[in-house]
Amino acid sequence: MKVGYVYDPIYLKHNTGQHVENVRRLEAIISYLEQTGLKQQLSQIKPRVATTEEISLVHHKQYISYIQEVAKKGGGWLDVDTVMSPNSYDAALYAVGGVIRATEAVMDGKVGSAFALVRPPGHHATAARAMGFCLFNNVAIAAKYALNKYKLERILIIDFDVHHGNGTHDTFYDNPQVLYISTHQYPFYPGTGSIEETGSGAAKGTTVNIPLPAGCGDTEYLLAFEQIIIPIAKRFSPQLILASAGYDSHWADGIALMQVSVIGFAQMVRIIKGLADELCSGRLAFGLEGGYNLTALAASIKATFDVLLGNTNIEDPLGQAPRRFEASNITSLIKSIKGIHNLP
């Protein structure tokens, strides 16, 4: 089955200057995919502008207007982390539309899986607030869009960015149709995502936070996937899987203190793909979130595409992490999460 990718130069119009989340991220990804010959193995999906109605599935209309007005006035800092340029609003519309188009392509059977290489990222954006480099919550909007358009009853969102996706968490905290699972360094920005936060009302149990201590690498992440994510996903039995794909837990990424390798990301993606193949006819779409070391980011995304394509030879130009930290023992954490979510 074909594997799709979304990309458009419009995403470079979100000009953040020397900010860590900048145009060089996508330039490095596309360049590496072209240099390695992998890009030609993929099917391109054209993004589109998301409508105000689509964005308002998650965000307040007053907030959408506010972001538009900031762009019209030339951009500026929305908080200490998040900056806009004059074209950021348009880029953000295409970022939402890009993840929607990737989701549609998967749901309509045009591709088996897809990855939307978009920016600005989205998982920190709440209904009425931009934060953490994010303007609109691309993946959350795509999930709500898919629930409505395809009359779905169950969508799984797996967020493996190094930061907790507080915006996505908030969006679906009381929605039993969406199972949100997040692996993240904790305590760390934005300070949310404890194991006790599990959803409210009828959605109790459909928020699963896996707050990992600094220093976790491939072994710890895979343990969390195998012991928690796989059994909970199978119990939920989603009709579509979306992934908020952040690669900032790579050991070479200076924004955090994790020790995941390119091979580690490939193993996680292989598990996610296996779940999609088993539970929802392979329907799987990724939206890009973090990842700020350009070499690690480009190599990890190539590895992701390799797994989706069924390529078995995964290249890791950076190798395993140097021993900056002692390996973290997460046995008791896993046991606690299993107890909270009634896992064997």
CATH of the domain at 124: 3.40.800.20
- Answer whether residue 264 shows pLDDT above 90: yes
What is residue 1's predicted lDDT score, i.e. its pLDDT?
Answer: 86
In whole numbers, what is the pLDDT of the chain averaged over residues? 97
Residue 96 lies in a domain: yes
Strand, coil or helix: 113: strand
Catalytic residues: 124
What is residue 323's predicted lDDT score, i.e. its pLDDT?
Answer: 72
What is residue 326's predicted lDDT score, i.e. its pLDDT?
Answer: 73
Report the alpha-carbon distance of residue 202 to residue 175 in Å, rounded. 7
What is residue 236's predicted lDDT score, i.e. its pLDDT?
Answer: 98
Closest residue by Cα to residue 57 from 157, 119, 140, 135: 140
Parallel/antiparallel/unpaired status of strands 43-45 and 3-6: parallel
- Answer whether residue 125 shows pLDDT above 80: yes
pLDDT digits (tens, 9 = 90+) for 232-260: 999 999 999 999 999 999 999 999 999 99
pLDDT digits (tens, 9 = 90+) for 159-211: 999 999 999 999 999 999 999 999 999 999 999 999 999 999 999 999 999 99
Report the alpha-carbon distance of residue 82 to residue 292 in Å, rounded. 15
Residue 194 lies in a domain: yes
Residue 90 lies in a domain: yes
Residue 155 lies in a domain: yes
Report the alpha-carbon distance of residue 304 to residue 262 in Å, rounded. 9
pLDDT digits (tens, 9 = 90+) for 99-116: 999 999 999 999 999 999
Tokens of 60: 């307040």
Identity at 124, one-letter amino acid code: H
Q: Distance from first CA to last CA of the chain, Å, rounded?
A: 35
Identity at 50, one-letter amino acid code: A
Domain that holds residue 11: 3-313+323-340
Long-range contacts of 59-63 (CB under 8 A, 24+ apart): 59/125, 59/127, 59/128, 59/136, 59/137, 59/141, 60/127, 60/128, 62/128, 63/127, 63/128, 63/129
Q: What percent of the chain has pLDDT over 70?
A: 99
pLDDT band per the 50, 70, 90 thresholds, residue 33: very high
pLDDT digits (tens, 9 = 90+) for 316-329: 999 999 876 676 79
pLDDT digits (tens, 9 = 90+) for 45-83: 999 999 999 999 999 999 999 999 999 999 999 999 999
Residue 318 lies in a domain: no
Report the alpha-carbon distance of residue 307 to residue 313 in Å, rounded. 9
Residue 121 lies in a domain: yes
Report the alpha-carbon distance of residue 96 to residue 47 in Å, rounded. 9
Residue 31 lies in a domain: yes
Domain total in the chain: 1
Mean pLDDT of 131-138: 98
